[in-house]
C-alpha cells in the first residue's frame, strides 16, 4: 500500500514523513547516511578509491600522463577531473555525450580543487616549458542516489592521497625522457570535504539527501570546507534561505569534516 | 582616505536598455540579454525554465553550463511556473563585455528581461558581487583591476521580499567571519539594485 501511495503522491508521501521529523529511510532530518571507503581499488591506476554514501557509490581512478605545459603557465602541470553519470547509475541518464548535470559536476570538482589549493600544480611540473604531469581524475558514478557531489569530492580526495608518481629524468640535449621505477607520493596540501543539503517545501532542510528527496526538493546547497576555511558555498538558485538556515548548513558542514577525515585516514592506513 | 574607504562600499554605475531586440517577448541590454516564451521542452503542469549562456567568443564550454544552471535555477525559483503549463521560458544571455562581476550582472540582466516580458513572478532577485582583498578588506563589486588584489570572490543573490538568499557562488578560500561580512555588505547593496529596477520600470512602463 505504501508503495502505491508513494508512486501516486510522492510529495505528500515525503511530507507525511517529515511532519514526524523522520525521513522515509528512517533518518532524522539532519542526519547523514553511513559512508564506506575503499582505497587502491584499481591496481592499474596511479591512484583510486571507491566511496559509498548510503546507496550512492562513486569510483575514482587517477591516471598520470606526461605532457607539455601550457605556454602561458610553463611551470604548472594539469589536473583534469571528469565526472561520468552513466545510464547504469540511474534511469535519469541516457547514453551519449555527458549530460548537463555531469558537466556541472565536473566543473564543480575542478573549482573545488582550484579553490582549496589541495594540490600545487607547480609540483606536477618536471621541467618548465618541457614536461609536466597531467592527472586525469575519472569519477564514475555507479549508483546515483543523491549527494553525488559529496561522494565525488570524497572519492577524489581519497584517490589523490594514494597517488604516487614515478620519477622522471629529462635529457635536455636529446629531448628524451626516462621514466624510473621509484615512485614518490603526491603532496596533498589540504583536504576539502563537501556537504550537501536539500531544501524541501521552501523551509525544511534535509542533510545528505537521497535521489528521491533531491528530485522533490526545491533547491540544494553544497558547502565545501577545507582546513577550517570555507572554500565553496554553492547554492544554484532554488528556494530562498534565511541567514540562520545558511549558517546551520555551514556549521553542519564544518562538524562533519572530522568524521570524513577520520574515515579517509583509516582507509589509507588499513590499505598501506 | 575617507573617500577611498567609501568607494569600496559603492556599486559601480549600472545601465540598462530595454527592447534592444525586436523578436523576443522581453529583452534588456544591461550587457544585452533577452528572454522569450516558446514551446520547446514540455512539462505538463508547469513552465520549463531554461537559460542559454553565450560567451563573448567561441562556443559555450563546460564552465558556461555551470553558469546556465545557476542563472536558470535562480530564475525558475521566482517565476510562478504553475501559471504557465506546457510552456518553456528560454533566457538567452550573450556576454558583451566582462569587467568583473559577470555572474551577478547576468542574473540581474535576466531578471530585467523577465520583468519586461511580463512573466508573473513571486519576487525579484538582485545579485551582488564582492571581493575579499589580501589585507582582509571586503570590497563591493570589484572591477577587473581590483579583482587582481582579491583572493576571494563571492556572489550573492537576494529576493526582494525578505532579502533571503536565493543563490550563492564563490571562488577562493575564506573564513566564516569574512563570509558573514561579505553577506551583510551585499545584502545592503542589493537595495540599490532593487531601486534601480524600480526606476527602470517607472521609466519604461507606459501606463501605471
| Per-residue pLDDT of chain A in tens (272 residues, 90 and over written 9) | 788 999 999 999 999 999 999 999 999 999 999 999 999 999 999 999 999 999 999 999 999 999 999 999 999 999 999 999 999 999 999 999 999 999 999 999 999 999 999 999 999 999 999 899 999 999 999 999 999 999 999 999 999 999 999 999 988 888 888 888 899 999 999 999 999 999 998 889 999 999 999 999 999 999 999 999 999 999 998 899 999 999 999 999 999 999 999 999 999 999 87
Residue-level pLDDT at B37: 46
Q: Do A246 and B165 touch (CB under 8 A)?
A: yes
Count how many residues are written for chain B: 208
**Contact at 8 Å (CB) between A169 and A180?**
yes
Q: In terms of pLDDT, which residue wins out, B200 or A85?
A: A85
- The alpha helices in A163-210, defined as continuous H runs, are none
Residue-level pLDDT at B90: 85
Residue-level pLDDT at B25: 63
Residue-level pLDDT at B20: 67
Domains and their CATH numbers in chain B: 2-202 (3.30.230.70)
Q: How far apart are CA B178 and CA B180, in angstroms?
A: 5
Both ends of chain A: CA-CA distance in Å? 49
Cell 541567514 sits at which residue? A243
Residues in chain B with CB shorter than 8 Å from the CB of A114 are 171
Domains and their CATH numbers in chain A: 16-271 (3.30.230.70)
Q: Do A240 and B76 touch (CB under 8 A)?
A: no
Q: Do B175 and A114 touch (CB under 8 A)?
A: no
Q: Do A234 and B170 touch (CB under 8 A)?
A: yes
Cell 530562498 sits at which residue? A240
Strand ranges, E, within chain B: 17-18, 26-29, 33-37, 48-54, 88-94, 125-133, 138-140, 150-159, 165-171
ipTM rounded to 2 decimals = 0.89
A226 forms beta bridges with: A229
Instruction: Give the one of A100, A107, A235 whose C-beta lies nearest to B63's C-beta.
Output: A107
Inform me whether the pLDDT recorded for B95 exceeds 80: yes
Instruction: Give the one of B65, B123, B162 whose C-beta lies nearest to A104's C-beta.
Output: B65
Q: In terms of pLDDT, which residue wins out, A130 or B34?
A: A130
| Helix H or strand E segment including A65 | strand A56-67
Strands B48-54 and B88-94, by their bridges, are parallel
Residue-level pLDDT at B131: 93
CB atoms within 10 A of CB B66: 24
Mean of per-residue pLDDT scores for chain B: 82
Amino acid at each position: 500500500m505504501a508503495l502505491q501511495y508513494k508512486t501516486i503522491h510522492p510529495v505528500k508521501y515525503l511530507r507525511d514523513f517529515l511532519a514526524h521529523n523522520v525521513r522515509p529511510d528512517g533518518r532524522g532530518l539532519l542526519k547523514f547516511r553511513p559512508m564506506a571507503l575503499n582505497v587502491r581499488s584499481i591496481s592499474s591506476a596511479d591512484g583510486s578509491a571507491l566511496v559509498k554514501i548510503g546507496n550512492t557509490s562513486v569510483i575514482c581512478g587517477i591516471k598520470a600522463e606526461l605532457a607539455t605545459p601550457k605556454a602561458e603557465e610553463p611551470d604548472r602541470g594539469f589536473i583534469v577531473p571528469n565526472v561520468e553519470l552513466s545510464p547504469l547509475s540511474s534511469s535519469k541518464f541516457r547514453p551519449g555525450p555527458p549530460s548537463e548535470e555531469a558537466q556541472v559536476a565536473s566543473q564543480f570538482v575542478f573549482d573545488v580543487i582550484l579553490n582549496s589549493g589541495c594540490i600545487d600544480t607547480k609540483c606536477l611540473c618536471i621541467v618548465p616549458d618541457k614536461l609536466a604531469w597531467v592527472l586525469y581524475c575519472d569519477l564514475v558514478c555507479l549508483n546515483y542516489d543523491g549527494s553525488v557531489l559529496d561522494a565525488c569530492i570524497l572519492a577524489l580526495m581519497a584517490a589523490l592521497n594514494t597517488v604516487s608518481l614515478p620519477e622522471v629524468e629529462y635529457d635536455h640535449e636529446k629531448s628524451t625522457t626516462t621514466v624510473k621505477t621509484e615512485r614518490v607520493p603526491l603532496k596533498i596540501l589540504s583536504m576539502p570535504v563537501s556537504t550537501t543539503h536539500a531544501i524541501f517545501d521552501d523551509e525544511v532542510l534535509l542533510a545528505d539527501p537521497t535521489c528521491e528527496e533531491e528530485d522533490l526538493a526545491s533547491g540544494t546547497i553544497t558547502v565545501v570546507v577545507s582546513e577550517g576555511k570555507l572554500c565553496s558555498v554553492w547554492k544554484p538558485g532554488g528556494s530562498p534561505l534565511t541567514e540562520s538556515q545558511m549558517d546551520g548548513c555551514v556549521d553542519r558542514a564544518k562538524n562533519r569534516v572530522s568524521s570524513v577525515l577520520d574515515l579517509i585516514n583509516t582507509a589509507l592506513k588499513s590499505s598501506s | 582616505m575617507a573617500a577611498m574607504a567609501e568607494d569600496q562600499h559603492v556599486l559601480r554605475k549600472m545601465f540598462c536598455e530595454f527592447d534592444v531586440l525586436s523578436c523576443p517577448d522581453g529583452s534588456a541590454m544591461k550587457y544585452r540579454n533577452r528572454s522569450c516564451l516558446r514551446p520547446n521542452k514540455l512539462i505538463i503542469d508547469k513552465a520549463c525554465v531554461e537559460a542559454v549562456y553565450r560567451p563573448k567568443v567561441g562556443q559555450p564550454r563546460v564552465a558556461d553550463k555551470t553558469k546556465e544552471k545557476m542563472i536558470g535555477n535562480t530564475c525558475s525559483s521566482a517565476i510562478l511556473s504553475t501559471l504557465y503549463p506546457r510552456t518553456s521560458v528560454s533566457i538567452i544571455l550573450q556576454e558583451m563585455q566582462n569587467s568583473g562581476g559577470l555572474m551577478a550582472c547576468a542574473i540581474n540582466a535576466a531578471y530585467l528581461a523577465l520583468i519586461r516580458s511580463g512573466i508573473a513572478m513571486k519576487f525579484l532577485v538582485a545579485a551582488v558581487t564582492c571581493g575579499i582583498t589580501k589585507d582582509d578588506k571586503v570590497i563591493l563589486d570589484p572591477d577587473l583591476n581590483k579583482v587582481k588584489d582579491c583572493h576571494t570572490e563571492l556572489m550573492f543573490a537576494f529576493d526582494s521580499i525578505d532579502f533571503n538568499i536565493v543563490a550563492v557562488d564563490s571562488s577562493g578560500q575564506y573564513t566564516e567571519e569574512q563570509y558573514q561580512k561579505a553577506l551583510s555588505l551585499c545584502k545592503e547593496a542589493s537595495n540599490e539594485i532593487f531601486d534601480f529596477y524600480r526606476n527602470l520600470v517607472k521609466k519604461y512602463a507606459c501606463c501605471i
